[in-house]
Amino acid sequence: MGIQNTLEGSNTEIPEIGALDVDKIKQDFPILQRKVYGKPLVFLDNAASTQKPLQVIETIQQYYTAENANIHRGVYYLSELATQKYEHSREIVRRFLNARSLKEIVFTYGTTDGINLVAHAFGRKFIKEGDEIIISEMEHHSNIVPWQILCEETGARLRVIPMNDNGELDLDQFRNLINSRTKLVAVVYVSNSLGTVNPIKEIIQSAHEHDIPVLVDGAQAVSHYRIDVQELGCDFFVFSGHKIFGPTGVGVLYAREEILETMNPFRGGGDMIKSVTFERTIYNDLPYRFEAGTPNIAGVIGLGTALEYVENIGYEWIGAHETEVLQYGMNVLSEIKQIRFIGTAQKKAGVISFVVDGVHPHDIGTFLDREGVAIRTGHHCTQPVMDHFNVPATSRASIAMYNKKEDFDALVRGLHKIIKVFS
Partner 1 sequence: MDELRELYQEIILDHNKNPKNFGELPDANHSSEGYNPLCGDRIKVFLKVKDGLVEDIKFTGSGCAISRASASVMTTLVKGKTVQEAEELFKRFHDLVTQSPQAEVNLEELDKLAVFAGVREFPSRIKCASLAWHTLIAALKEKQEPISTE
Measured CA to CA, the distance from residue 283 to residue 410 in angstroms comes to 55
* Burial letters 219-250, b for 16+ CB under 10 A, else e: bbbbbbbbbebeebbbbbbbbbbbbbbbbbbb
381 labelled catalytic: yes
Helix (H, G, I), strand (E, B) or coil at 37: coil
Determine which one of 160, 273, 336, 381 is catalytic: 381
Residue 357 CB, nearest distance to partner 1 (Å)?
12
CB nearer partner 1, residue 74 or residue 384:
384
CA gap 220, 224 in Å, rounded: 8
Asked if 416 is part of the footprint of partner 1 (rule: CB under 8 A), the reply reads no
Distance CA 91, CA 85 (A): 10
Choose the stretch contacting partner 1; rule: CB under 8 A; options: 211-219, 222-230, 316-324, 366-374.
366-374
> With binding defined as CB under 8 A, does residue 383 bind partner 1?
yes
Specify the pairing of strand 373-374 against strand 339-342.
Answer: unpaired
Regarding 87 and contact with partner 1 (CB under 8 A), the answer is no
DSSP letter for 293, please: S
Contacting residue, 377, 395, 398, 403, with partner 1 by CB under 8 A: 377
The C-alpha atoms of residue 110 and residue 248 are separated, in whole angstroms, by 8
Cβ within 8 Å of residue 295, ≥6 positions away: 71, 86, 107, 250, 271
Interacting residue with partner 1 among 183, 379, 388, 396 (CB under 8 A): 379
* Candidate segments 170-178, 180-188, 206-214, 375-383, binder of partner 1 by CB under 8 A: 375-383
Query: Please, which residues have CB within 8 angstroms of residue 180's CB and are 6 or more apart in sequence?
Result: none
Helix (H) or strand (E) segment spanning residue 22: helix 22-27
User: From start to end of 37-100, where are the E strands?
Assistant: 39-40, 42-43
From 267-275, 282-290, 377-385, 397-405, span contacting partner 1 (CB under 8 A): 377-385
Q: How far is the CB of 311 from partner 1 (least distance, A)?
A: 37
- The verdict on 363 binding partner 1 (CB under 8 A) reads yes
Write down the least CB distance from residue 105 to partner 1, Å: 35
Nearer to partner 1 by C-beta: 114 or 414? Answer: 414
CB of 421 vs partner 1, minimal distance in Å:
6
In the bound state with partner 1, the residue whose beta carbon lies nearer, of 377 and 398, is 377
- What single-letter DSSP state applies at residue 380? T
* Under rule CB under 8 A, residue 115 binds partner 1: no
Write down the number of H helices and E strands in the chain: 16, 17
**Is residue 226 a contact residue for partner 1 (CB under 8 A)?**
no
272, 352, 386, 401: which one binds partner 1 (CB under 8 A): 386
Contact with partner 1 (CB under 8 A) among 100, 366, 406, 413: 366
User: Does 269 interact with partner 1 (rule: CB under 8 A)?
Assistant: no
Residue 422 in contact with partner 1, rule: CB under 8 A: yes
Please name the amino acid found at residue 171: L
Q: What are phi and psi of 41, to 5 degrees?
A: -65, 130
> Is residue 354 involved in binding partner 1 (CB under 8 A)?
no
Under rule CB under 8 A, residue 126 binds partner 1 = no
Residue span 312-351 as binding mask against partner 1, x where in contact by CB under 8 A, dash where not: ----------------------------------------
Helix or strand holding residue 60 (H, E): helix 54-62
Residue 5 DSSP one-character state: H
DSSP 254: E
Stretch that binds partner 1, among 132-140, 169-177, 312-320, 378-386 (CB under 8 A): 378-386
Smallest distance from partner 1 to CB 128, Å: 33
Give whichever of 270 and 384 is closer to partner 1, judged by the CB atom.
Answer: 384
CB 184 within 8 A of CB 234: no
Task: Give the Å distances, CA to CA, from 175 to 65, 179, 183.
Answer: 54, 9, 14
Please name the amino acid found at residue 381: C
Based on CB atoms, which residue is closest to partner 1, 66 or 421?
A: 421
Catalytic residues: 381
Residues making contact with partner 1 (CB under 8 A): 359-363, 366-367, 370, 377-379, 383, 386, 392-393, 421-422
